Amino acid sequence: MQQRRTPAFRARCRKQIVRRVAMVSVHTSPLAQPGTGDAGGMNVYVLNTARELARSGVEVEVFTRATSSEEPPTVEAAPGVLVHHLPAGPFEGLSKNDLPTQLCAFTGGLLRAEAHNRPGHYDLIHAHYWLSGQAAWVAADRWGVPLVQTFHTLAKVKNAQLAEGDSPEPIGRVVGEEQITTEADLLIANTAAEAEELHRYYGADERRVEVIHPGVDLGVFRPGDRYAARQALGLPHNALVVAFVGRIQPAKAPDVLLRGLARLRVHNPALAERIVPVFVGGPSNTDLFWLPKLAGELGLGDRVQWRTPRSGEALAQVYRAADAVAVPSYNESFGLVALEAQATGTPVIAAKVGGLTTAVSDGRSGILVDSHTADDWAAALGRLMGDGALRERLAAGARTHAALFSWQATAEGLSGAYRRALLARSQAITLNR
């Protein structure tokens, strides 16, 4: 798309009016609590971009699968943002890997919902994750509107960077992503690294890929009193606190943090004794006790603090209470946890993978670790936790780096991308007449 953005092209794009967008998020609702089950950064992304688009005058309707009989059919999540819960299969008992069997039912519900409106009710459809793309592909074709796709994670990338003991993504997902990559009018990548992965692994047409960074709520995730936060959380004031926030699953690699801390006990026992690890999250399609069991085996069972998932100000308090936040994932399309932590002024230790190389500025806002070995993570933890001056310098850089990202900027980028998709569709129709 870049080479087409002449002044005349931009002027035509500005004339494309986006009034209403249908967002599709099949496997997880934007209203769900991130940090457990299948809820995570994608939920945060969908909800915040929808809110910001609505504030700019674009109505957003989000379609997601109903997971409880008690959920109302439609919920107003924010002014100008509706969330529709579509029945598709049993409310409970289905994992994300079971949902392809329910895509026909979900797609039928999506088409019926639109049928109650006048033709042209939606200007375009924006799908999140590959399951949503499969349903949205049919709807976009039926409605005659552009299909915009954000994958958030990619099967081929995950399989190339698989955590030990984790199951590879099924071939059905790989094929599904290949189909959507070919059929979508526009692909939204979170980072340049993801754009390159779309091209390298899926052969995506570079002209149909746009890079738009996710954001962070700088009003919620802001610096505050560390000791007040620790008091609210019941954490010792004089400890060195390192926090992990997210789903407790192999792909997020919480075990890498534990193994690094255990190895640090060997290399620097005095420093390791001062560190209190705090894990905030819930299990995601895994054994509930696998991580606490590992902590016990490593001799850390009496040191680790376990906390339930939270969001908003309660999550910001966790970040403020920490001296560092660890994001050791095997892959992240971006890494919102890293950005949220930095916005509160807390430096991050993260794996040097995927979008984390954008979310974290190595040496300025945090430390990127180029492996998942216990020795390398022990070295990084020892370097940061043992050097107060380094933490202060990185904390200042963390705030500066996070300020470069906002959900308003993300929504502005999406609005522009939507207009370009509409223009490209209208031009194609004109040429085919």
Write the DSSP symbol of residue 352. Answer: S
Average pLDDT of the segment spanning 207-220: 96
Q: Residue 178: is its pLDDT beyond 50?
A: yes
Write the DSSP symbol of residue 237. Answer: T
The annotation status of 98 as a binding-site residue, yes or no, is no
Query: In whole numbers, what is the pLDDT of the chain averaged over residues?
Result: 92
Question: Which burial class, exposed, middle or buried, applies to 274 when counting CB atoms under 10 A from its CB (0-12, 13-18, 19+)?
Answer: middle
Instruction: Give the C-alpha separation, 29 to 39, whole Å.
Output: 8
Confidence class for position 11, pLDDT limits 50, 70, 90: low
The 3-state DSSP class for residue 121 equals coil
The annotation status of 340 as a binding-site residue, yes or no, is yes
The annotation status of 40 as a binding-site residue, yes or no, is yes
The annotation status of 282 as a binding-site residue, yes or no, is no
The annotation status of 293 as a binding-site residue, yes or no, is no
The annotation status of 117 as a binding-site residue, yes or no, is no
Contact between residue 394 and residue 384 where contact means Cβ atoms under 8 Å apart: yes
The pTM of the full predicted model, rounded to 2 decimals, is 0.90
Question: What is the pLDDT, as a whole number, of residue 312?
Answer: 94
Instruction: Give the C-alpha separation, 337 to 343, whole Å.
Output: 10
Instruction: Give the C-alpha separation, 265 to 111, whole Å.
Output: 58
Confidence class for position 3, pLDDT limits 50, 70, 90: very low
The annotation status of 338 as a binding-site residue, yes or no, is no
Tens-digit pLDDT profile for residues 23-78: 999 998 999 887 777 778 899 999 999 999 999 999 999 999 998 888 899 999 99
Sign of CA dihedral 176, 177, 178, 182: positive
Tens-digit pLDDT profile for residues 320-366: 999 999 999 999 989 999 999 999 999 999 999 999 999 999 999 99
The annotation status of 158 as a binding-site residue, yes or no, is no
The annotation status of 33 as a binding-site residue, yes or no, is yes
